[in-house]
Structure 1
Amino acid sequence: MADELWREEREFWLGGVAETARKIDPACVMVFANTGILDRSGVIAALQSVPRWQEITMTDRATVETDEVCLLAYRATLRRAGADAFRALCTTTWIRRAGDWRIIQHQQTPL
Protein backbone atom coordinates (compact mmCIF):
# COMPACT_ATOMS: atom_id res chain seq x y z
CA MET A 1 0.00 0.00 0.00
CA ALA A 2 2.73 2.49 0.92
CA ASP A 3 4.48 2.09 -2.46
CA GLU A 4 1.22 2.95 -4.23
CA LEU A 5 0.78 6.05 -2.07
CA TRP A 6 4.35 7.22 -2.65
CA ARG A 7 3.54 7.13 -6.40
CA GLU A 8 0.30 9.03 -5.72
CA GLU A 9 2.25 11.58 -3.64
CA ARG A 10 4.60 12.19 -6.53
CA GLU A 11 1.62 12.76 -8.84
CA PHE A 12 0.08 15.10 -6.25
CA TRP A 13 3.05 17.43 -6.86
CA LEU A 14 3.53 16.92 -10.60
CA GLY A 15 0.06 16.18 -11.98
CA GLY A 16 -2.44 18.58 -13.45
CA VAL A 17 -4.83 20.56 -11.27
CA ALA A 18 -7.83 18.37 -12.14
CA GLU A 19 -5.96 15.18 -11.20
CA THR A 20 -4.65 16.74 -8.01
CA ALA A 21 -8.14 17.99 -7.06
CA ARG A 22 -9.48 14.45 -7.49
CA LYS A 23 -7.07 13.25 -4.79
CA ILE A 24 -8.08 15.86 -2.19
CA ASP A 25 -10.73 14.79 0.34
CA PRO A 26 -13.60 17.26 0.96
CA ALA A 27 -12.49 17.51 4.62
CA CYS A 28 -8.84 18.22 3.74
CA VAL A 29 -6.74 20.88 5.46
CA MET A 30 -3.35 21.98 4.13
CA VAL A 31 -0.79 24.25 5.81
CA PHE A 32 1.69 26.39 3.86
CA ALA A 33 4.17 28.96 5.17
CA ASN A 34 3.18 31.63 2.62
CA THR A 35 -0.57 31.10 2.30
CA GLY A 36 -1.51 29.72 5.73
CA ILE A 37 -4.22 27.17 6.40
CA LEU A 38 -6.34 26.23 3.38
CA ASP A 39 -9.37 24.01 2.94
CA ARG A 40 -9.98 21.99 -0.23
CA SER A 41 -11.42 24.88 -2.25
CA GLY A 42 -8.58 27.19 -1.18
CA VAL A 43 -5.99 24.63 -2.24
CA ILE A 44 -7.60 24.14 -5.66
CA ALA A 45 -7.80 27.92 -6.20
CA ALA A 46 -4.13 28.30 -5.23
CA LEU A 47 -3.09 25.48 -7.59
CA GLN A 48 -4.82 27.21 -10.50
CA SER A 49 -2.77 30.37 -10.01
CA VAL A 50 0.76 28.89 -10.03
CA PRO A 51 2.70 26.72 -12.50
CA ARG A 52 2.91 23.04 -11.57
CA TRP A 53 6.19 21.53 -10.44
CA GLN A 54 8.25 19.73 -13.08
CA GLU A 55 10.50 17.63 -10.87
CA ILE A 56 10.49 16.31 -7.30
CA THR A 57 12.96 14.35 -5.21
CA MET A 58 11.65 12.85 -1.97
CA THR A 59 14.26 11.68 0.55
CA ASP A 60 14.35 10.76 4.25
CA ARG A 61 11.01 9.01 3.75
CA ALA A 62 9.00 7.76 6.71
CA THR A 63 5.66 5.96 6.60
CA VAL A 64 3.04 5.17 9.24
CA GLU A 65 0.13 3.10 8.00
CA THR A 66 -3.02 1.35 9.12
CA ASP A 67 -5.75 -0.22 7.00
CA GLU A 68 -7.53 3.12 6.55
CA VAL A 69 -4.85 5.81 7.07
CA CYS A 70 -1.32 6.31 5.77
CA LEU A 71 0.98 9.16 6.79
CA LEU A 72 3.93 10.02 4.55
CA ALA A 73 6.74 12.24 5.85
CA TYR A 74 9.70 13.30 3.73
CA ARG A 75 12.19 15.94 2.66
CA ALA A 76 11.19 17.38 -0.74
CA THR A 77 13.29 19.17 -3.33
CA LEU A 78 11.16 20.58 -6.14
CA ARG A 79 11.90 22.42 -9.36
CA ARG A 80 9.90 24.34 -11.93
CA ALA A 81 11.13 26.14 -15.05
CA GLY A 82 12.99 29.36 -14.43
CA ALA A 83 12.83 29.20 -10.62
CA ASP A 84 15.16 28.26 -7.79
CA ALA A 85 14.67 24.87 -6.17
CA PHE A 86 12.12 24.72 -3.34
CA ARG A 87 13.06 22.57 -0.34
CA ALA A 88 10.71 21.58 2.45
CA LEU A 89 9.89 19.00 5.08
CA CYS A 90 6.44 17.63 4.26
CA THR A 91 3.76 15.40 5.67
CA THR A 92 0.71 14.11 3.86
CA THR A 93 -2.00 12.00 5.43
CA TRP A 94 -4.00 9.77 3.11
CA ILE A 95 -7.33 8.25 4.15
CA ARG A 96 -9.25 5.44 2.49
CA ARG A 97 -12.76 6.55 1.51
CA ALA A 98 -15.00 3.96 -0.17
CA GLY A 99 -11.91 2.08 -1.37
CA ASP A 100 -10.12 5.12 -2.81
CA TRP A 101 -7.20 6.96 -1.21
CA ARG A 102 -7.68 10.69 -0.64
CA ILE A 103 -5.48 13.36 0.93
CA ILE A 104 -6.95 14.61 4.20
CA GLN A 105 -3.91 16.58 5.41
CA HIS A 106 -0.77 18.08 3.91
CA GLN A 107 1.81 20.36 5.54
CA GLN A 108 5.03 21.97 4.36
CA THR A 109 7.87 23.44 6.39
CA PRO A 110 10.25 25.31 4.03
CA LEU A 111 13.95 24.71 4.57
Structure 2
Amino acid sequence: MLDDLLQLEHQGWQSLCDGTGADFYGRIMTEDAVMVLAHGQVFDRRAVIDSLNDAPGWRTYDISEERLVTLGHDDAAIVYTGRGYRAEGAPEFVALMSSVYTRKNGSWRLVLYQQTPVPVQ
Protein backbone atom coordinates (compact mmCIF):
# COMPACT_ATOMS: atom_id res chain seq x y z
CA MET A 1 0.00 0.00 0.00
CA LEU A 2 2.82 2.43 0.86
CA ASP A 3 4.45 1.85 -2.54
CA ASP A 4 1.18 2.48 -4.39
CA LEU A 5 0.44 5.72 -2.55
CA LEU A 6 4.02 6.92 -2.74
CA GLN A 7 3.92 6.35 -6.49
CA LEU A 8 0.80 8.53 -6.69
CA GLU A 9 2.53 11.27 -4.69
CA HIS A 10 5.46 11.17 -7.10
CA GLN A 11 3.06 11.32 -10.06
CA GLY A 12 1.42 14.36 -8.50
CA TRP A 13 4.72 16.15 -7.96
CA GLN A 14 5.85 15.23 -11.47
CA SER A 15 2.64 16.72 -12.87
CA LEU A 16 3.40 19.94 -10.97
CA CYS A 17 6.85 19.97 -12.58
CA ASP A 18 5.68 19.33 -16.16
CA GLY A 19 2.58 21.57 -16.11
CA THR A 20 -0.08 18.83 -16.11
CA GLY A 21 -1.12 19.26 -12.45
CA ALA A 22 -4.66 20.47 -13.21
CA ASP A 23 -5.33 17.36 -15.31
CA PHE A 24 -3.72 14.98 -12.80
CA TYR A 25 -5.50 16.35 -9.73
CA GLY A 26 -8.75 16.72 -11.65
CA ARG A 27 -8.65 12.97 -12.27
CA ILE A 28 -7.37 11.75 -8.90
CA MET A 29 -9.36 13.93 -6.47
CA THR A 30 -12.81 12.79 -5.34
CA GLU A 31 -15.65 15.23 -6.05
CA ASP A 32 -15.72 16.38 -2.40
CA ALA A 33 -11.92 16.38 -1.86
CA VAL A 34 -10.11 19.39 -0.38
CA MET A 35 -6.56 20.64 -0.12
CA VAL A 36 -5.44 22.57 2.98
CA LEU A 37 -2.49 24.58 1.71
CA ALA A 38 0.51 26.15 3.42
CA HIS A 39 -0.74 29.70 2.75
CA GLY A 40 -3.76 29.02 4.97
CA GLN A 41 -6.47 28.46 2.38
CA VAL A 42 -8.70 25.45 1.80
CA PHE A 43 -9.34 24.63 -1.87
CA ASP A 44 -12.05 22.34 -3.12
CA ARG A 45 -11.46 20.23 -6.23
CA ARG A 46 -12.60 22.97 -8.65
CA ALA A 47 -10.38 25.60 -6.97
CA VAL A 48 -7.38 23.23 -7.13
CA ILE A 49 -7.88 22.65 -10.85
CA ASP A 50 -8.35 26.36 -11.55
CA SER A 51 -5.32 27.38 -9.50
CA LEU A 52 -3.05 24.80 -11.14
CA ASN A 53 -3.95 26.04 -14.63
CA ASP A 54 -2.05 29.26 -13.84
CA ALA A 55 0.53 28.07 -11.28
CA PRO A 56 4.25 28.26 -12.05
CA GLY A 57 5.85 24.84 -12.32
CA TRP A 58 8.30 23.27 -9.94
CA ARG A 59 11.80 22.60 -11.25
CA THR A 60 12.31 19.57 -9.02
CA TYR A 61 11.16 18.05 -5.74
CA ASP A 62 12.11 15.57 -3.03
CA ILE A 63 10.03 13.28 -0.81
CA SER A 64 11.53 11.91 2.41
CA GLU A 65 10.54 10.39 5.75
CA GLU A 66 7.40 8.85 4.27
CA ARG A 67 5.05 6.93 6.55
CA LEU A 68 1.82 5.07 5.96
CA VAL A 69 -1.18 5.34 8.26
CA THR A 70 -3.68 2.58 7.48
CA LEU A 71 -7.27 3.65 8.10
CA GLY A 72 -8.95 0.53 6.74
CA HIS A 73 -8.82 -1.89 3.83
CA ASP A 74 -9.64 0.85 1.29
CA ASP A 75 -8.50 3.98 3.13
CA ALA A 76 -5.02 5.18 4.08
CA ALA A 77 -2.89 8.26 4.58
CA ILE A 78 0.67 8.90 3.57
CA VAL A 79 2.68 11.45 5.55
CA TYR A 80 6.06 12.79 4.44
CA THR A 81 8.39 15.75 4.22
CA GLY A 82 8.18 17.37 0.81
CA ARG A 83 10.69 19.79 -0.67
CA GLY A 84 9.95 21.76 -3.81
CA TYR A 85 12.34 23.88 -5.84
CA ARG A 86 11.22 26.44 -8.42
CA ALA A 87 13.77 28.67 -10.19
CA GLU A 88 17.49 28.11 -9.71
CA GLY A 89 18.58 30.00 -6.59
CA ALA A 90 15.03 30.51 -5.29
CA PRO A 91 14.38 29.37 -1.72
CA GLU A 92 13.15 25.83 -1.30
CA PHE A 93 9.61 25.14 -0.13
CA VAL A 94 9.58 22.62 2.74
CA ALA A 95 6.43 21.23 4.33
CA LEU A 96 5.10 18.25 6.20
CA MET A 97 2.52 16.79 3.85
CA SER A 98 -0.37 14.41 4.38
CA SER A 99 -2.51 12.81 1.70
CA VAL A 100 -5.58 10.74 2.56
CA TYR A 101 -6.72 8.27 -0.09
CA THR A 102 -9.72 6.03 -0.56
CA ARG A 103 -9.91 3.15 -3.02
CA LYS A 104 -12.97 3.35 -5.28
CA ASN A 105 -13.61 0.85 -8.08
CA GLY A 106 -10.06 -0.47 -7.70
CA SER A 107 -8.32 2.94 -8.01
CA TRP A 108 -6.89 5.14 -5.30
CA ARG A 109 -8.52 8.60 -5.12
CA LEU A 110 -7.32 11.61 -3.15
CA VAL A 111 -9.76 12.78 -0.47
CA LEU A 112 -7.67 15.23 1.58
CA TYR A 113 -4.26 16.81 1.14
CA GLN A 114 -2.68 19.02 3.80
CA GLN A 115 0.57 21.04 4.04
CA THR A 116 2.25 22.34 7.17
CA PRO A 117 5.18 24.60 6.26
CA VAL A 118 8.53 23.95 7.91
CA PRO A 119 10.73 27.04 8.30
CA VAL A 120 13.91 26.73 6.23
CA GLN A 121 16.95 27.14 8.46
TM-score by length of 2: 0.83
Aligned partners of 2:76 and 2:101 also within 8 Å: yes
Residue deviations 1:8-62 (CA, integer Å, cap 9, x gap): 1111122112123211111101111325111100111111121232322111211
Q: Which residue of 93, 100, 103 corresponds with 2:100?
A: 93
Give the share of equivalent positions with the same residue, in percent: 30
- TM-score, normalised to structure 1, is 0.90
Q: Which amino acid aligns with 1:79?
A: Y
Give the aligned partner of residue 3 of structure 2: 3
Indicate the structure with greater strand content.
1
Matched ranges for 1:23-102 at <5 A: 23-34=28-39, 36-65=41-70, 66-82=72-88, 83-102=90-109
RMSD over aligned CA atoms reads: 1.4
Give 4+ residue runs of structure 1 displaced > 3 Å after superposition.
none
The structure whose Rg is larger is: 2
Number of equivalences: 111
Shifted more, 96-105 versus 49-58: the winner is: 49-58
Q: Specify the alignment match of 1:110 in structure 2.
A: 117
Structure 2: runs of 5+ lacking an equivalent: none
Note the residue ranges of structure 1 that are not aligned, 5 or more in a row. Answer: none
